[in-house]
């Protein structure tokens, strides 16, 4: 069993921080200590650097067929880009086609990833059609496949959206087997009505994407989702929250003793809707929900520090500019999504830790630990602890660099953060004891990544009685 | 340097949980690992047991002169009782006498503890008279004495209470030097008016203590304290919160991007006001704020799991029954306080973890880690990590026992939890590498405890901008 | 033109109260004064009695085909009962059959009422199927038929329920023409899921009707309806609100500068869910939403005095016991509804005014004036003012009586208030200057009632900018 | 008894609106009707004009000694100005000097008004020193003098401010006798601390007046006042509310079934804090609380239409520019207050009714009816009804004019609304049947105004149970 010793770094977990050594035996961390008197096959000196748990991106869409095209990163290119930025595990979405079974989707996505993914990966099952047939599949997905989270869409009617009846039935069934329901919270009906009106008015530019998806559509759906969860005391998780008004629905729900898990994405913390005011260039940030205001950004940062938002993901779903152009004359045809999987850790470090918006521990918590805990990957993933997988990123806090499509590893011909100055660079990324990236070089083989079956979720009850 | 090895326990921190070994060199933890190949002067087998960070009780009153008498535990008896229950550090209150300096109070309390305390200890400075003289002392207390938290009382007018002007001035001065203000949040004026009315009506029994301190008096003061903090963007901490209505003030404050630290006490989670309905017997639980309803208990448990309450303390302030009898004919003369320092860890384990109201990590967080982090003792105290003080409690989750004044070590002739069945027993308590209590035997000398000067507080800002 | 003089009563409007005379010329009030020196064809002495505007019941269902049967009062029996209780106008619901036009429903209901109704009447149009065909009918309904309010159902999926898309489209269309949308706010999907589960569990008794329609289903739908209204700045009205949690959604909406109209019904103020605990007897109060708790009643009374609830109606929809028995073995088959049209004014007077929960002015406001103002009948109806229709009820505040199916005039073989003691009796009811009921005798002919085309609604904007 | 007939105007009350005649016999309205066949000593043709109840300004300070000078309008000049603008009654404040009795203040203010006031007047008693002596005066003030409202200040420490103990004791005593407590809600301690800091920093300009009285100081005090009221179930009234954050405290209070009365002033609806950005010119609007933002204005307009704000007053307290100059080098010495008594009705008509922010009925409600009802003057004052005082203003909605210190009648050498265009002019003001002002001419004698002893307040309970 090969061994690796990381010496003298500043080791940080969601709770702890100490200067010391991490000893790795095979795929696992076997000891932590100061001046560990142990010899290893290989030693990395991390003096002056941070030693963080490898990042977990809980929301990615690799190789996703969507809106008549496919996201431009597959599991190979996307996962290699992820490793460059310190992310060692992802949870992607296997999305049911309406009319088809869940199993079919699961198999499709297993196949997409197999032999390609260079990071470890799990799947949320996106349920778009819940009926007696698909109900019967839930148990096996949880117990046999280790798929314990079930995503729903409250928007995209006719393609992905479920109605409230399906939602509450799914919640019941999923809880029975130890899983959890998550949702894309936007009221599809409100949005569709606005989109139709905008199109009728010949409002075709990308900015109308944002104007036809106002935050009230998100906060309504968020509130309704929490109400349905409350009605049956179900644990739930809201993906990619963007708006202060939506976060306030969570705050209101706490008053009835409800606990809710919330995810936001890097872009909602850093970018705002003024980016849409530049003609078709704005299509780069056409995603759903759209970018909001600076006031919303502030609410999200504070929501993190108030412990109301647990996870920061990316919703990585890149499309190249010629794909975006499918909507050149109609914003509603622009493929929704943007690239981001590579930059999450560094942006959160630079904008969060270095700008004193986040403590080091909170940085680890939101980029790695909470995703692992909430979705049943802990303690295998998400921390630097004895017995855990040796998924580690060594980050140099002093190195500055600039984000650009010219240098990024994602298969996307633009960067959503072109020219952004970042302080802090992932020097070394380690996955299960193997050095995956060092000094900008990818050292693993594609397909090294393993599927991660997940444990049943054993959350502290969403309402303690 | 003597060494100690704890083998094969289930080590739990606020984030992690693994089965492994803890190696202690002198006063510090020097390594964590699985099957650590290291030899120690002494080895403890912790198989099947939990290995937790030593408890930190952030709210105690040992040797407190109050209401014409003194709390019945001094730093010797109180700290020994604490160790029996797994608590290895306390933060007591040095309370200024109105008209006197803060320095005088600090010196008095240092003297009370010195040579007696068997646990490590720090002091909150209770400021009861803030003026230009005492303002000038703040800097030295923070920088020279390591006293970084400043307690105020919004009740007990004429004895301890400060007015809003003193409060905001104190907040400004304290923040300037890197400290934080905490408060006992009850509106003394509302209460004094009700007490006077009750006395006029010859309502003398202990239950009138509770009836004259309604939760609106607590929630008003809590809200006002948060408003004053918000007006200057000051970080603040509310001690011993008891009421859902008060917690809702915190929830409302989150909507304006404010972050607040909140403490509750074990008794507010487990006991309720029906205990006052038994004549003078009720005096055992006369404390301020008083016990509330089962609905409030539920709100507090959920507040913990919603991450809105960070700390569970005791407000340990025991008085023997002959002291309580000072108020036999007038509830307002009953010395306020109850014994609890010994039972906090075991009760939280038994009622929290074993009854599935709290995860193991959250148990550690609220009983130890958060108190250390919030009050500047981290990472010396509050965790099991490389380089931290070896303050550890080994708890047997299977051992059941019954709480009673006959068996407890506190100097109080009654138990607030007489007959309470507890699952989980602290077998071994270790303080800075020394076994303090083992199998019910106290093995240290009194006076072993050290004063803990604390660091300046560097909280994530209370409002991120 | 015949004249009528009411002498010396205590005349009360939503604002005023004075002792004086009301002079009626033909159908209209022509003068108010003290010791009016005018002679009339007929004089009524109202000394010691209250002279109120005739009641307006904004929510009735006469001759309604529902759940396989029809409500047991038609426009004749129901309107005569109404007059006995001081109600002189009603707004009933013309309910579209899904697949049919709105016009068809309007014509059907016009026919039901014509020649039968003894009170004046208007119709809310209940839109159950909103599409491009029915969209085109809205304008004419408003402008040609004077139907300005459009009711929707958020429950009863498959029969009456509209989805959110239909709702927002309807709101847009209706506002364009000066109308307003109202809703029955219950989340049909949550309810249907619970009903299905109860039936599967053989829970067949009436009490399961209430248990499968929890208040969260009502508050969710209320909140969603307000969100949709807010998204387009539409004025809206919530019918028959029952729950504190729903009222709190209205309170939250006020924080975003939204104004909402709210109706409750007498039964939700006076009766509670404990009535369901008596086997099939409970079917008498099976209606939707169901009766709630005493805490909810209190919230509704206070909501009225806080001016957040404007209208108290009845949702009169009686079924005889043999009709109720259709659900003897399955609560979900019990026809929903209860009798009440006759008792609204007297119950609100007795329980509201006499028990000092309502001022006299507020009594008039909620039983008459607000319904007229909100729904475009003012100042023709809803007040005692110069030029208004002479719709008047003279009520003796000292006369006590007991409600019973033996004495009531509604065509229903039970009373929802059997044995209820009432203080205050309608002595005389006048409709457009004609004495309709005096001392318990009905003096008009059936069919005296006229259809009331209503004005476009010119509400203070729902959000003032 | 002389008679007066107003023909053919559009008569508007808080509820009604009709075209017709008002017949006045002596001081009282004796009949309302259409084409009243009655002859009068004098007839006014009001065709095309509005006939409103005379305005009641519930918050004025005439001849007030304050901050080392006196408000520049005495009861003569101020009341004549009021009549020019359609206000026929005022409620001024008799302000206790700390250390003195309430009776002394009452007598002083009676003397100030006697022989001078041309409007009818009542007094709120401002209690600045509540103790056992002054407690004993409350009963007589209510029962013998008809002073039923008791104002407190939560700011101006050392001069006017009471502490919470005085507040709750006053609330208890006042409720016992049928009165109500009102308050100026600003936290004096927060403000004094900020003022001291600004002065230390040599921030002397008027704008620092606003910056040192942030809205959090107002919302805190508002919330605390409501909490104290709630603790004893006391009815209360908040004077001159300015801030959305304060209004939200009222909204929160409604959730616990509490009802609260709220007043704002014209200037808070129309002017904003940008007026302070012009050097010492800004002193014209130095008042407490200060002007806020446009967002707050919007919240107040909507608060009126949501029925959460009942009264619009002026807080008329003028100082001439040479008085304002007392604070030329120190904003904290600028006498607080601005002129406004003359313009309230016309501004509310022009900006409220004509701009469709208020209905006609709501205009009457907030400028007259609610003040009369809340403070025990109804139905003598505040409406146009049979038996009420003939206090009437005839307003021409088509006449435009411009506000200016050159034309106003207030004794103040500047106008707070200089150059403001107003649509709608009070043509005729009638007080108790006498024409007080017609076409800009004052026709009464000074001293015509009578003191208005008020009735015990019999509010619908603040919390209905």
Total beta-carbon pairs less than 8 A apart between chain A and chain C: 66
- Sorted by sequence, the CB contacts under 8 Å of residue D186 that are 6+ apart come out as D154, D155, D213, D217, D218, D221, D288, D289
- Distance, in Å, from the CA atom of C172 to the CA atom of A190, rounded to the nearest integer, reads 11
Question: For residues A53-78, b (16+ Cβ closer than 10 Å) or e, as one string?
Answer: bbbbbbbbbbbbebbeebbbbbbbbb
Q: Which domain holds residue A205?
A: 55-374
**Does the residue A33 lie in any domain?**
no
Chain C residues in contact with A172 by the CB 8 A cut-off are: 193
- Residue B214's pLDDT is 98
Chain C residues in contact with D255 by the CB 8 A cut-off are: 248, 251
**D387 to chain C: nearest residue by CA?**
C18
pLDDT digits (tens, 9 = 90+) for A10-31: 999 999 999 999 999 999 999 9
Contact (CB, 8 A) for D301 and D283: no
Number of H helices and E strands in chain C, helices first, is: 14, 19
- Residue D1's pLDDT is 85
**B465 to chain A: nearest residue by CA?**
A298
User: Which parts of chain B sit beneath pLDDT 50?
Assistant: none
**Cβ contact B193–D252 (<8 Å):** no
Average pLDDT, chain B: 97
Report whether pLDDT(C448) > 90. yes
Q: Which two tokens stand for residue C314?
A: 């009845």
pLDDT digits (tens, 9 = 90+) for C319-366: 999 999 999 999 999 999 999 999 999 999 999 999 999 999 999 999
- Residue A251's pLDDT is 98
Give how far D245 is from chain C: nearest CA, Å: 10
> Would you place residue C460 in the very low, low, confident or very high pLDDT band (cuts 50, 70, 90)?
low
**Cβ contact B307–A307 (<8 Å):** yes
User: B-side interface with D, Cβ within 8 Å?
Assistant: 157, 163-165, 167-169, 172, 187, 189-190, 192-193, 214, 216-217, 219-220, 223-224, 227-228, 230-231, 252
Mean pLDDT of D39-55: 97
Mean pLDDT of D177-202: 97
- Residue A462's pLDDT is 74
Give how far A213 is from chain B: nearest CA, Å: 23
> Would you place residue D37 in the very low, low, confident or very high pLDDT band (cuts 50, 70, 90)?
confident
pLDDT digits (tens, 9 = 90+) for C30-46: 999 998 989 999 999 99
**Cβ contact C190–A168 (<8 Å):** yes
**Cβ contact C157–A172 (<8 Å):** no
Which of D31, D254, D463 is nearest residue C251 as measured by Cβ atoms?
Answer: D254
- Residue D254's pLDDT is 97
Which of B167, B169, B220 is nearest residue D224 as measured by Cβ atoms?
Answer: B220
- Distance, in Å, from the CA atom of A288 to the CA atom of A211, rounded to the nearest integer, reads 12
**Cβ contact A31–B32 (<8 Å):** yes
- Residue D465's pLDDT is 75
Chain D residues in contact with B219 by the CB 8 A cut-off are: 227
Give how far C16 is from chain D: nearest CA, Å: 7
- Residue C459's pLDDT is 65
Report whether pLDDT(D460) > 60. no
- Residue C178's pLDDT is 94
User: Which chains reach chain D with 3 or more Cβ–Cβ distances below 8 angstroms?
Assistant: B, C
Chain B residues in contact with D172 by the CB 8 A cut-off are: 193
Q: Which helix (H) or strand (E) holds C77?
A: helix C75-84
**Does the residue A352 lie in any domain?**
yes
Q: How many domains does chain D have?
A: 1
pLDDT digits (tens, 9 = 90+) for C103-159: 999 999 999 999 999 999 999 999 999 999 999 999 999 999 999 999 999 999 999
- To probe the interface with C, which of D9, D13, D33, D359 has the most C CB atoms within 10 Å? D33
Angle at C145 between CA C142 and CA C148, to 5 degrees: 35
- Residue B460's pLDDT is 57
Report whether pLDDT(C305) > 90. yes
**Does the residue D314 lie in any domain?**
yes
**Cβ contact A23–B11 (<8 Å):** no
Chain D residues in contact with B223 by the CB 8 A cut-off are: 220, 223-224, 227
- Cα–Cα distances in Å, from B68 out to B75, B209, B324, D201? 19, 18, 11, 45
**Does the residue D398 lie in any domain?**
no
User: Which chains reach chain C with 3 or more Cβ–Cβ distances below 8 angstroms?
Assistant: A, D
- Distance, in Å, from the CA atom of B409 to the CA atom of B318, rounded to the nearest integer, reads 12
Report whether pLDDT(A53) > 60. yes
Total beta-carbon pairs less than 8 A apart between chain A and chain B: 141
**Does the residue A22 lie in any domain?**
no
**Cβ contact D302–C34 (<8 Å):** no
- Of B289, B325, B153, B265, which is closest to residue B209 (Cα–Cα)? B289
Average pLDDT, chain C: 97
Report whether pLDDT(D289) > 70. yes
HEC secondary structure over A3-32: EEEEEEEEEECCCCEEEEEEEEECCEEEEE
**A458 to chain B: nearest residue by CA?**
B359
**Does the residue B27 lie in any domain?**
no
**D169 to chain B: nearest residue by CA?**
B193
- Distance, in Å, from the CA atom of B192 to the CA atom of B153, rounded to the nearest integer, reads 14
- Of C226, C248, C307, C373, which is closest to residue D309 (Cα–Cα)? C307
Chain B residues in contact with A387 by the CB 8 A cut-off are: 18-20, 34
State the CATH number of the domain containing residue D174.
Answer: 3.20.20.140
**Cβ contact B305–A460 (<8 Å):** yes
- Residue D230's pLDDT is 97
User: Which chains reach chain B with 3 or more Cβ–Cβ distances below 8 angstroms?
Assistant: A, D
Which of D34, D258, D358 is nearest residue C387 as measured by Cβ atoms?
Answer: D34
Which of A193, A224, A252 is nearest residue C165 as measured by Cβ atoms?
Answer: A193
- Residue C6's pLDDT is 98
Mean pLDDT of C415-443: 98
Q: Which two tokens stand for residue B276?
A: 């006052």
Chain B residues in contact with A302 by the CB 8 A cut-off are: 254, 257-259, 463-464
- Distance, in Å, from the CA atom of C92 to the CA atom of C84, rounded to the nearest integer, reads 18
Question: For residues C300-315, b (16+ Cβ closer than 10 Å) or e, as one string?
Answer: bbbbbbbbbbbbbbbb
User: Which chains reach chain A with 3 or more Cβ–Cβ distances below 8 angstroms?
Assistant: B, C
Which of B167, B169, B214 is nearest residue D231 as measured by Cβ atoms?
Answer: B214
> Would you place residue D463 in the very low, low, confident or very high pLDDT band (cuts 50, 70, 90)?
confident
**Cβ contact C259–D14 (<8 Å):** no
- Of C49, C86, C24, C38, which is closest to residue C386 (Cα–Cα)? C24
Report whether pLDDT(D5) > 60. yes
Contact (CB, 8 A) for B302 and A230: no
Q: Which two tokens stand for residue C175?
A: 């506002």
- Residue A461's pLDDT is 63
Flag whether the pTM goes above 0.95.
yes
pLDDT digits (tens, 9 = 90+) for C245-290: 999 999 999 999 999 999 999 999 999 999 999 999 999 999 999 9
> Would you place residue A459 in the very low, low, confident or very high pLDDT band (cuts 50, 70, 90)?
low
**Does the residue A363 lie in any domain?**
yes
**Does the residue A435 lie in any domain?**
no
- Residue B459's pLDDT is 64
Mean pLDDT of D254-265: 97
């Amino acid at each position: 069993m090969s061994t690796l010793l990381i010496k003298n770094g500043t080791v940080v977990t969601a709770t702890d921080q100490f200067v010391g050594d991490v000893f790795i035996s095979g795929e696992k961390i076997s000891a932590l200590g100061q001046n560990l008197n142990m010899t290893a096959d290989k030693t990395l000196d991390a003096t002056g650097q941070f030693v963080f748990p490898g990042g977990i991106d809980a929301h990615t869409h690799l190789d996703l067929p969507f809106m008549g095209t496919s996201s431009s990163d597959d599991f190979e290119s996307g996962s290699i880009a992820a490793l460059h930025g310190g992310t060692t595990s992802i949870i992607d979405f296997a999305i049911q086609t309406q009319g088809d079974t869940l199993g079919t989707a699961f198999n499709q996505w297993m196949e997409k990833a197999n032999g390609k993914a260079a990071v470890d990966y799990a799947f949320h099952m996106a349920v778009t059609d819940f009926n007696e047939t698909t109900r019967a599949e839930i148990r096996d997905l949880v117990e046999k496949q280790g798929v314990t989270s079930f995503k729903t869409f409250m928007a995209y009617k006719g393609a992905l959206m479920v109605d409230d009846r399906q939602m509450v039935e799914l919640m019941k069934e999923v809880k029975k087997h130890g899983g959890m329901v998550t949702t894309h919270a936007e009221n599809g009906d409100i949005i569709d009505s606005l989109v139709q009106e905008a199109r009728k008015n010949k409002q075709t530019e990308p900015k109308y994407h944002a104007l036809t998806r106002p935050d009230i559509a998100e906060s309504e759906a968020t509130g309704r989702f929490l109400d349905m969860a409350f009605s049956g005391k179900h644990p739930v998780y809201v993906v990619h929250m963007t708006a202060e008004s939506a976060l306030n629905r969570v705050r209101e729900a706490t008053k009835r003793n409800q606990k809710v898990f919330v995810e936001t994405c890097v872009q909602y913390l850093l970018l705002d809707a003024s980016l849409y005011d530049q003609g078709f260039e704005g299509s780069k940030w056409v995603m759903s929900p759209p970018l909001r205001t600076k006031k919303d950004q502030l609410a999200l940062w504070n929501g993190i520090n108030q412990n109301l938002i647990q996870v920061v993901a990316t919703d990585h779903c890149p499309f190249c500019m010629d794909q975006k152009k499918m909507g050149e004359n109609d914003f509603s045809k622009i493929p929704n999504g943007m690239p981001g999987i590579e930059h999450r850790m560094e942006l959160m470090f630079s904008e969060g830790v270095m700008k004193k918006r986040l403590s080091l521990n909170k940085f680890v918590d939101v980029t790695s630990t909470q995703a692992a805990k909430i979705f049943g990957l802990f303690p295998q993933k998400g921390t630097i602890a004895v017995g855990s997988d040796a998924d580690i990123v060594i980050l140099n806090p002093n190195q500055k660099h600039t984000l650009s499509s010219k240098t990024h590893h994602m298969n996307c011909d633009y960067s959503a953060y072109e020219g952004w100055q970042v302080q802090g660079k992932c020097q070394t990324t380690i996955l299960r004891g193997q050095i995956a990236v060092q000094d900008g070089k990818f050292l693993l083989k594609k397909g090294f990544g393993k599927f991660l079956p997940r444990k049943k979720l054993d959350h502290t009850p969403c309402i303690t009685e």
